[in-house]
């Protein structure tokens, strides 16, 4: 069965995809990269098997024999379309979605932009040159991504902050949704393998999972009062719906 791992950008999506993949492997399913290589599925890009837009053509391949004989996870930042939601309703696929405080995604987006521009890349995050750019980008993601994913029947939702705070409980929820049995000891090893400390250590050389600081609430340290107020003005109404109710206006 296909598992689609959706995400708000800069919300730990690669990290969560690898946790999902390792959980499935621990339950006896193949690694997603083995599926990609076995069937030459070149649209499953990068180490996290990102399918980008989940077009009906791609999903048809991933949910038809012989590929459908295997259970594996793929990643996307694109909202679900009618075809994907129909398959979910029929029980033919499973979908998870992880999101994060959009004020923190703005901070991560700005930092990602700086790194890309230093490498001469001025597309995607490379276009984000100021905190205000990042806040406006984050506002668009909430409206065009989170808003289109949320409150869909059958999707299992996660918050990045909860996963950091209590990974064992959150991965146990995930295992239940995926209908797999993984011993707690094995889950603990998966958590340790992908811990923030381990991922930071691995950043010597090739970056790992786009993992940055691995902390929550960083916007309070980085943003000015004016910038926080801008967040409240642009997407403050969403914060409570997303579970981030501290909307008090600064000073």
Q: pLDDT tens-digit profile of 78-109? A: 999 999 999 999 999 999 999 999 999 999 99
Evaluate if residue 121 carries a pLDDT over 90: no
- As beta bridge partners, residue 97 has 6, 157
**Averaged confidence pLDDT in the chain:** 91
- φ, ψ of residue 45 in degrees (nearest 5): -90, 150
Query: Tell me, what's the pLDDT at 251?
Result: 36
pLDDT digits (tens, 9 = 90+) for 202-236: 544 444 554 555 678 999 999 999 999 999 999 99
Q: Which long-range contacts (CB under 8 A, 24 or more apart) does 186-192 make?
A: 186/26, 187/23, 187/26, 190/19, 190/22, 190/23, 190/26, 191/19, 191/167
Residue, of 111 and 119, whose pLDDT is higher: 111
State how beta strands 156-159 and 72-76 pair: unpaired
> What mean pLDDT do residues 174-202 have?
86
Evaluate if residue 200 carries a pLDDT over 80: no
- φ, ψ of residue 100 in degrees (nearest 5): -150, 160
Evaluate if residue 173 carries a pLDDT over 80: yes
According to CATH, the superfamily of the domain at 2-242 is P-loop containing nucleotide triphosphate hydrolases (3.40.50.300)
Evaluate if residue 249 carries a pLDDT over 70: no
Query: Tell me, what's the pLDDT at 124?
Result: 83
**Domain ranges (residues) in the chain:** 2-242
Query: Tell me, what's the pLDDT at 122?
Result: 81
- φ, ψ of residue 148 in degrees (nearest 5): -90, -15
Residue, of 124 and 223, whose pLDDT is higher: 223
Q: Is 33:97 a contact under the CB 8 Å cutoff?
A: no
State how beta strands 2-7 and 156-159 pair: unpaired
> What mean pLDDT do residues 111-124 have?
87
pLDDT digits (tens, 9 = 90+) for 189-198: 999 998 866 6
Q: Is 148:139 a contact under the CB 8 Å cutoff?
A: no
Query: Tell me, what's the pLDDT at 100?
Result: 97
Task: Identify the band that residue 116 occupies on the pLDDT scale cut at 50, 70 and 90.
Answer: confident
Q: How far apart are CA 222 and CA 240, in angstroms?
A: 21
pLDDT digits (tens, 9 = 90+) for 20-39: 999 999 999 999 999 999 99
State how beta strands 93-99 and 2-7 pair: parallel
């Amino acid at each position: 069965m296909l598992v689609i791992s959706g995400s708000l950008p800069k919300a730990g999506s690669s990290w969560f995809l690898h946790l999902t993949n390792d959980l499935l492997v621990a339950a006896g399913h193949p690694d997603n990269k083995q599926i990609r290589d076995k069937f030459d599925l070149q649209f499953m890009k990068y180490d996290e098997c990102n399918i980008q837009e989940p077009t009906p053509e791609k999903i048809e391949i991933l949910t038809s024999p012989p590929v459908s004989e295997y259970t594996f996870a793929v990643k996307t930042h694109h909202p679900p379309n009618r075809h994907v939601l129909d398959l979910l309703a029929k029980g033919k696929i499973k979908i998870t979605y992880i999101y994060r405080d959009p004020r923190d995604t703005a901070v991560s987006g700005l930092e990602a932009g700086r790194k890309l521009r230093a490498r001469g890349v001025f597309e995607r995050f490379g276009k984000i040159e100021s905190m205000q750019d990042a806040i406006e980008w984050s506002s668009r993601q909430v409206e065009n991504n989170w808003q289109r994913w949320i409150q869909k029947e059958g999707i299992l939702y996660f918050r990045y902050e909860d996963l950091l705070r209590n990974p064992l409980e959150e991965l146990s929820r995930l295992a239940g949704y995926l209908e797999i049995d993984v011993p707690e000891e094995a889950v603990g090893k998966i958590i340790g393998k992908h811990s923030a400390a381990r991922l930071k250590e691995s950043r010597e050389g090739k970056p790992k999972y786009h993992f940055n600081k691995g902390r929550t609430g960083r916007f309070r340290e980085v943003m000015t009062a004016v910038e926080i107020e801008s967040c409240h003005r642009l997407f403050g109404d969403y914060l409570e719906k997303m579970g981030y109710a501290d909307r008090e206006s600064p000073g």
